[in-house]
């Protein structure tokens, strides 16, 4: 990894929180992600399973974490299993964790090689009553490949068929929705790297540059600041492409008179930023562009006022929809007849604002968390309204990352330029 490892106290604290949620005499197992193949002997870049990382800080393939808080032998209440390295692996793949390094990163005292897993696990299972297994239960997940967790689930049920099995995902969703101060600091750092990239791009963009050149400016700045790179596939969309919500081709020329929508974010230590900014390619907003931009900015600011403890995401989105409806009326995009004839299932504003305003943010960009759970202090959200006018080749979205605190919202992107005047000044400096 490129980042400096976070303090092991974070992972010790996270494991302590999980232990409080487990039933008595339970064992919980977490597997790393696989290194996924492409073609021939090619592989994709490794990305750790976020639940295992959340509990251990271990960022390496073929790793397993076993937690059994009630086991008789205290040394086996937390056990980490690692891929054992050798000279050939060191030559071809490079350094892998030593046991000492894994202890220092995770705060877990007992570390074994993966080859010892079967014997140790059998010893633990002889005493355990409940077994918590992990699955991807994000409501938008599309899982079309068999994961390491899924293979382990099949193996475990085959070898230990009469244990009582439980889902650990709901517990992880509950825990990961509330961020500790150390997690918030990691997200803040990712936001600060994202800010550096955006300020670089403001100096670079002009008519005639290609979208992929803008993308390259971001990734250069991100990586030089110890980020892996983009937190997600970047959207760099000029003109009409900004009206395609998940446009990722990034292959068009940025033309004079167009707006450029950039939905990008850096990651740091596996924690993510998620920013969107919309800027005029030529450095100067037209009056129409500014009117739409200001409308989106007003919705964003008002949405932040109602993102507070006690609200839920579905109710919050309804409230933001009313704010957007008012702005679209003011822009002449909707009229009173549209409002009168709308229905609850398909409100009129959806023609120009089709997506939600906020989602959880953390180790996953669309982080885990129950959308029906009331918002609480410590939750981190995006706030990202947009207006997309396909007939005008104009799409504008603005997005910041915020933390719900006891005193209101902490805007982790408050330093990233968003005001029209500041953007124009920086682009024309």
pLDDT digits (tens, 9 = 90+) for 331-341: 999 999 999 99
Tell me which residue has tokens 């197992």. 29
What pLDDT shows up at residue 359? Answer: 98
Other beta carbons within 10 angstroms of residue 289's beta carbon come to: 20
Mean pLDDT of 364-381: 97
CA triple 173-303-287, angle to 5 deg: 135
* Cβ-count burial 28-48 (b if 16+ within 10 Å, e if not): bbbbbbbeeeeeeeeeeeebb
Examine the domain organization and report whether 237 and 379 are in the same domain: yes
Name the domain count of the chain.
Answer: 2
The answer to whether 317 is a known catalytic residue is no
Confidence of residue 97 (pLDDT cuts 50, 70, 90): very high
Q: Where residue 375 sits, what CATH number does that domain have?
A: 3.90.230.10
Q: Where residue 65 sits, what CATH number does that domain have?
A: 3.40.350.10
Examine the domain organization and report whether 164 and 213 are in the same domain: no
Catalytic residue among 87, 144, 246, 406: 246
The answer to whether 364 is a known catalytic residue is no
Question: Cβ contacts of residue 101 below 8 Å, gap of 6+?
Answer: none
Query: Is the pLDDT reported for residue 3 higher than 90?
Result: yes
Whole-angstrom CA distances from 159 to 31, 152, 162, 261, 366 are 17, 10, 9, 53, 35
Confirm if 297 and 278 have CB atoms less than 8 A apart.
no
What pLDDT shows up at residue 79? Answer: 98
The answer to whether 70 is a known catalytic residue is no
Examine the domain organization and report whether 167 and 309 are in the same domain: no
Catalytic residue among 41, 87, 158, 345: 41
Question: Cβ contacts of residue 119 below 8 Å, gap of 6+?
Answer: none
Catalytic residue among 200, 355, 373, 411: 355
DSSP state at residue 26: E
pTM: 0.96
- Which of 417, 385, 416, 411 shows the shortest CA–CA distance to 398? 385
Catalytic residue among 47, 138, 228, 366: 366
Query: Is the pLDDT reported for residue 347 higher than 90?
Result: yes
What pLDDT shows up at residue 123? Answer: 98
Query: Is the pLDDT reported for residue 64 higher than 90?
Result: yes
Structure token pair of residue 304: 């932040």
Q: Lowest-confidence range among 61-75, 99-113, 211-225, 340-354? A: 340-354
Q: Would residue 1 count as lying in a domain?
A: no
Mean pLDDT of 332-356: 94
Catalytic residue among 183, 274, 325, 364: 274
Examine the domain organization and report whether 228 and 146 are in the same domain: no
The answer to whether 103 is a known catalytic residue is no
Examine the domain organization and report whether 158 and 203 are in the same domain: no
What pLDDT shows up at residue 382? Answer: 98
Q: Would residue 110 count as lying in a domain?
A: yes
Confidence of residue 246 (pLDDT cuts 50, 70, 90): very high
The answer to whether 366 is a known catalytic residue is yes
259 strand-pairing partners: 280
Of the three residues 176, 199, 215, the one that is the final residue of a domain is: 176
Confidence of residue 291 (pLDDT cuts 50, 70, 90): very high
Query: Is the pLDDT reported for residue 142 higher than 90?
Result: no
Examine the domain organization and report whether 235 and 366 are in the same domain: yes
Other beta carbons within 10 angstroms of residue 199's beta carbon come to: 15
Tell the burial category of 189 from Cβ atoms under 10 Å away from its Cβ (0-12, 13-18, 19+).
buried
Of the three residues 154, 176, 198, the one that is the final residue of a domain is: 176
Structure token pair of residue 144: 């079309």
What pLDDT shows up at residue 327? Answer: 98
Q: pLDDT tens, 148-187?
A: 999 999 999 999 999 999 999 999 999 999 999 999 999 9
Query: Is the pLDDT reported for residue 399 higher than 90?
Result: yes
CA triple 19-177-404, angle to 5 deg: 130
Q: pLDDT tens, 248-279?
A: 999 999 999 999 999 999 999 999 999 999 99
Examine the domain organization and report whether 164 and 199 are in the same domain: no
Confirm if 400 and 383 have CB atoms less than 8 A apart.
yes
What pLDDT shows up at residue 331? Answer: 98
The answer to whether 263 is a known catalytic residue is yes
Gap between the Cα atoms of 301 and 313, Å rounded: 17
Examine the domain organization and report whether 187 and 160 are in the same domain: no
Give percent of the chain with pLDDT exceeding 90. 94
Q: Lowest-confidence range among 17-31, 66-80, 91-105? A: 91-105
The answer to whether 221 is a known catalytic residue is no
The answer to whether 407 is a known catalytic residue is no
Catalytic residue among 15, 225, 388, 424: 388
The CA-based diameter of the chain, rounded to the nearest angstrom, is 74
Query: Is the pLDDT reported for residue 404 higher than 90?
Result: yes
What pLDDT shows up at residue 88? Answer: 86
The answer to whether 41 is a known catalytic residue is yes
Q: Would residue 2 count as lying in a domain?
A: no
Mean pLDDT of 298-321: 97
Confirm if 240 and 267 have CB atoms less than 8 A apart.
no
CA dihedral 165, 168, 174, 178 (to 10 degrees): 150
Q: Would residue 41 count as lying in a domain?
A: yes
The answer to whether 414 is a known catalytic residue is no
Gap between the Cα atoms of 38 and 395, Å rounded: 34
For residue 273, the enclosing domain spans 181-427
Q: Would residue 140 count as lying in a domain?
A: yes
152 three-class SS: helix
Catalytic residue among 359, 360, 364, 367: 359
Examine the domain organization and report whether 210 and 151 are in the same domain: no
Q: pLDDT tens, 414-429?
A: 999 999 999 999 999 8
Gap between the Cα atoms of 346 and 328, Å rounded: 15
The three-state DSSP-derived secondary structure of 68-94 is CCCCCCHHHCEEEEECCCCHHHHHHCC
Mean pLDDT of 364-387: 97
The answer to whether 137 is a known catalytic residue is no
Catalytic residue among 195, 217, 384, 424: 384
Examine the domain organization and report whether 229 and 311 are in the same domain: yes
Examine the domain organization and report whether 190 and 160 are in the same domain: no
Q: Would residue 249 count as lying in a domain?
A: yes
Q: Would residue 120 count as lying in a domain?
A: yes
What pLDDT shows up at residue 313? Answer: 97
Examine the domain organization and report whether 293 and 410 are in the same domain: yes
């Amino acid at each position: 990894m490129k980042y400096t490892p976070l303090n092991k106290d974070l992972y010790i604290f996270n494991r302590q929180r999980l232990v409080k949620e487990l039933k008595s005499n339970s064992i919980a197992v977490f597997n790393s992600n696989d290194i996924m193949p492409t073609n021939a002997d090619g592989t994709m870049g490794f990305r750790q399973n976020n639940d295992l990382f959340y509990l251990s800080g271990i960022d390496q393939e073929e790793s397993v974490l076993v937690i059994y808080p009630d086991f008789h032998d205290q040394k086996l209440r937390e056990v980490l299993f690692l891929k054992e390295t050798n000279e050939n692996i060191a030559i071809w793949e490079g350094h892998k964790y030593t046991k000492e390094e894994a202890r220092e990163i995770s705060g877990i005292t007992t570390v074994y090689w993966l080859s010892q897993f079967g014997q140790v696990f059998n010893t633990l299972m002889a005493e355990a009553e409940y077994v918590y297994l992990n699955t991807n239960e994000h409501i938008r997940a599309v899982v079309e490949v068999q994961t390491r967790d899924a293979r382990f689930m099949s193996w475990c049920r085959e070898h230990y068929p009469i244990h009582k099995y439980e889902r650990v995902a709901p517990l992880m969703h509950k825990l990961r929705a509330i961020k500790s101060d150390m997690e918030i600091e990691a997200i803040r750092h990712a936001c600060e790297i994202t800010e550096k990239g955006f300020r670089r791009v403001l100096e670079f963009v002009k008519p005639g540059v290609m979208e992929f050149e803008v993308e390259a400016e971001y990734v250069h700045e991100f990586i030089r600041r110890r980020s892996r790179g983009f937190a997600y596939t970047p959207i760099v969309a000029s003109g009409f492409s900004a009206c395609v919500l998940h446009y990722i081709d990034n292959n068009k020329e940025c033309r004079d008179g167009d707006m450029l929508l950039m939905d990008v974010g850096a990651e740091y230590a596996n924690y993510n930023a998620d920013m969107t900014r919309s800027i005029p390619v030529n450095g100067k907003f037209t009056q129409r562009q500014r009117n739409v931009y200001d409308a989106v900015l007003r919705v964003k600011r008002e949405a932040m006022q109602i993102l507070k403890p006690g609200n839920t995401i579905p109710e919050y989105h309804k409230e933001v929809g009313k704010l957007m409806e008012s702005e679209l009326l003011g822009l002449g995009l909707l009229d009173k007849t549209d409002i009168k004839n709308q229905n609850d299932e398909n409100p009129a504003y959806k023609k120009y604002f089709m997506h939600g305003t906020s989602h959880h943010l953390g180790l996953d960009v669309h982080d885990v968390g129950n959308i029906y759970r009331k918002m609480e202090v410590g939750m981190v959200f995006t706030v990202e309204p947009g207006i997309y006018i396909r007939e005008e080749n104009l799409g504008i979205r603005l997005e910041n990352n915020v933390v719900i605190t006891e005193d209101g919202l902490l805007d982790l992107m408050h330093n990233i330029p968003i005001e029209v005047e500041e953007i124009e000044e920086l682009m024309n400096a």
